[in-house]
Amino acid sequence: MALERKDVRAAVDDEVHKALIIFARHAGVTVAEYVEKLIQADVSVKVTTTIEHYHDLARVGIVGKTPDLFGKPKAGA
């Protein structure tokens, strides 16, 4: 079963739009399909990177620490 897709609207300047038209044409898809693929790829990379950062931070014991770790004063101190 496919997940429900959400509609997203974006505004770009004229040069970017013209470039998207050309890139989409070369990819054999519509501009909307091309932009959808760009967004999905970018978000996928960012999610993967975030998960990797979380695991790296957890490995060195930083995950779950309070903001005090980063030099902010503790309340009442």
Q: Give per-residue pLDDT as tens, 13-38.
A: 999 999 999 999 999 999 999 999 99
Length of the chain: 77
Number of structural domains the chain divides into = 1
CA 4, CA 38: separation in Å to the nearest integer?
A: 18
Confidence category of residue 1, pLDDT binned at 50, 70, 90:
low
What's the whole-model pTM score? 0.69
Q: Is the pLDDT of residue 74 over 60?
A: no
User: Is 73 a member of any domain?
Assistant: no
Q: Is residue 55 part of a domain?
A: yes
- Look at residue 3 and tell me if it is in a domain: no
Per the structure, the complete domain to which residue 61 belongs is given by 14-68
Q: Which tokens hold the place of 5?
A: 């897709």
Helix-helix angle 14-27:31-59, to 10 degrees: 90
The answer as to whether 27 is a domain residue is yes
